[in-house]
Amino acid sequence: MSKVEKILDDGGIKLGGVVSDLNGLSARAMVVGLIEGKSISSLLDMARGRLKLRRDDLQAALDGDLTPRHRFILEHIHEHIATLEHSLAELDAYILAAMAPYQWAHRLLQTIPGIDQIASALILIEIGDDMTRFGSADRIAAWAALCPGNNESAGKRKSARIGKGNSVIRYIMCECANSAWKTKSSIASKYKNLIVRKTHKKAIIALAHKMIRLIFLLLTRKVAYHDPQIDYAAISAKKNAPRWIKQLKVIGQWPNNPSTSPTT
């Protein structure tokens, strides 16, 4: 339980029991509203998305009694969080700016499900863009502490613990794997197959191992990753649709009735 949730609970506000994340847009707006002493009706109007459908639950959760002491502490926690977020944003901007000389590699890694701009930058900071220093996918996996041993004797499997290596890149790759298994991709399918016979932790290690080997291949061959289970055409259409529609309207080819097809 976060400090914010503890303070709210102490004041009889059970917001954490209704929203999934107190750092979400709706919840944060409501916390600010509570600090400012706004009415419950005003707080309910701050709900967004599916949270609007839980108006009765929210009303019951927000019906508490925050004292001036509660509001004072909440305000300082809120300001501290805002300061930390500002610092993180500056760090992220600095890291991304440092990727300018490595743009080809930075973009390439982002084609892998589970790897975003920041993760791609952090990976490149650790491994670089020249894979000749490692020589093979097996070596980079071992260096990243993502290569389990194969200790077997007389048909009996013994310890298969991960060996020593770079704990930083191992952590980054495991975080990427944790994001990748939630996507609709072949990497996520591998996780589903593994979780049947392995624990979540072991399945994540296996995914991270697969992804670091994949990174080695992409950076070596200098080609983007294409997942057979991802509809890239649909993603591109969704991303570019607003721009295309705007252009069609400019040239007069977008119909007044969207249900009809544009004239040619």
Domain spans of the chain?
Answer: 3-97, 101-221, 234-264
Q: Give me the mean pLDDT over the 67-72 stretch.
A: 93
Distances in Å between the Cα of 38 and the Cα atoms of 43, 71, 218 are 7, 12, 53
Q: How many CB atoms neighbour CB 99 within 10 A?
A: 17
Residue 155: band (very low, low, confident or very high) from pLDDT cuts 50, 70, 90: very low
pLDDT tens column, 49-63: 888 889 899 999 998
pLDDT tens column, 240-254: 667 667 766 777 766
Q: In a 10 Å sphere around its CB, with 0-12 CB exposed, 13-18 middle and 19+ buried, how is residue 128 labelled?
A: middle
- Residue owning tokens 């041993």: 149
- Residue owning tokens 């944790």: 178
The span from the CA of 127 to the CA of 134, in Å, is 9
Q: Give me the mean pLDDT over the 215-224 stretch.
A: 94
Residue 160: band (very low, low, confident or very high) from pLDDT cuts 50, 70, 90: very low
Residue 162: band (very low, low, confident or very high) from pLDDT cuts 50, 70, 90: low
Q: Where would I find the beta strands (DSSP E) of 125-237?
A: 152-153, 156-157
What 3-state DSSP class applies to 222? coil
Dihedral, 100, 235, 222, 144 alpha carbons, nearest 10: 80
Position 101 pLDDT exceeds 50: yes
**pTM reported for the whole predicted model:** 0.70
Residue 258: band (very low, low, confident or very high) from pLDDT cuts 50, 70, 90: low
The span from the CA of 71 to the CA of 51, in Å, is 24
Q: Give me the mean pLDDT over the 33-47 stretch.
A: 91
Residue 237's pLDDT is 65
Residue 70's pLDDT is 93
Single out the residue of 68, 48, 84 nearest to residue 7, CA to CA: 68
Residue 21's pLDDT is 85
* Residue 261: DSSP 8-state: P
Residue 194's pLDDT is 92
**Furthest C-alpha separation in the chain:** 76
Q: Give me the mean pLDDT over the 228-234 stretch.
A: 67
Residue 159's pLDDT is 46
- 8 A C-beta contact, residue 126 and residue 183: no
Residue 202's pLDDT is 93
Residue 96: band (very low, low, confident or very high) from pLDDT cuts 50, 70, 90: very high
State the average pLDDT for the chain: 85
